[in-house]
Structure 1
């Protein structure tokens, strides 16, 4: 049975400090957004910016040749050694060349795959293909690298397939390194390009066909300019990851060293952390230069 209304006054909500803060933040959305982003931005600055600063500072120190201890004496000897040494110049050019080749291979392979996924396959097959692209990422990095070592070895499956035709497997070396790295980073290139192609309206392709545009002209003049930021995003992944890789080179590269291998050697066997820090600055400078060049083209504005 319903109780009659007493008709008394409704008590006002308590004016607590938390309520006042909530009301204040609701009236200042920019301040609320700044507070929400402060924690991740602080972590980013601490982990990334401070780490880069510590790396630069370490590169300015030296190692005592007798005791092997690090001497916190400011000097540019390590940086001068890295810039003028023929070994470091050769390894830098080799690393840069491998990174460029891996990036070009990944983009050329990713474009048709991503186009088929976004514009040709049905909705059901799009899901299946996306899962198929992501499945290699579920496996361990080392498992995939050693698998390619087995495939490319002298008694591997590639050698067995091409031997009747007089061919031979690439074996160990730079070709094997390029093949393995291109396979490892391919999903990181396919997914951004696939996302970019999904944003291209099908009506534009149909309009180009109605106006007499051929397939090649449509892809070059209509599709490519629209997905160029996505291609740049994918290339950043493959390019930067290749610059810093050293495990794959140790597994399938043979004696061909890259910058990551020199850093690892100086940190471990040589126990020369300042020189390793100076070498590590090279790929950082290269990737920052690449990002600056890409930004000047305007390709990053629409990402």
Structure 2
């Protein structure tokens, strides 16, 4: 017997808004600008999905992840990925204790609430696979014993698009497991001046952690409410149609765009659309999803799921250009 979804009422929505506003204010206190990054991280937190970030170094990705973890009173861990990083360095291992003449399990940094995998494409394929398995299964197995990962659990993985020497790019099957991919842009000159002002004021000093503004239980309650946000069947179909165009480009896109796509998005893209759209509706104070939620998420949901051919790379055509073409051929409900 299935249980019908109960849509959040106004009282619950007001409570959600207070929690979201508190986290947003804590984020804005240390991160200048980067509104899209803030929204993407909050969407990941509210859906239980994972986020892939791409940017050059120095754009406050680590600071953003740490501030988010501290704001929700969660445990934060950061792993700097390198080619010699082993799976056990992330999930944990067993260490021999000579005092007790037995092996003791030492859990790895994956056992946290917010985990930052910095430059994930520098770790080997074996280590990437171990991490992605932990992300999917929400548990690790060490010495035959299963250790659940605490909830909420958010993985933020970063990629540096500039330096590709000595890297192991994530495979398409691996990137598909990330809910959304966000491109972190350079700050404006005015924002950069504000960053310098905050540095001079000591806001980023080590002795100035972000004060917790909500609890982990609050986050779990938000995740439950987000799952019950109303999304009309027509909007689910709209998301599915966008994904379907990427799978059959020759039938629905102009020839000059269609020939650039080698493979379209998987069903995980439609699932990501629905999850992220519900979370975005909550972030904007609504108990229902609008078409604009799907439109605003299209780049983030599809850019890492489209596989473009050599011709696209040679012509410097970005996934965003192809996604815009996809959006134009599907009627908005």
Give the TM-score of the pair, scaled to structure 2: 0.23
Q: Which has the higher helix share?
A: 1
Rg comparison, structure with higher value: 1
* Alignment TM-score, normalising by the size of structure 1: 0.25
Structure showing the higher strand proportion among its residues? 2
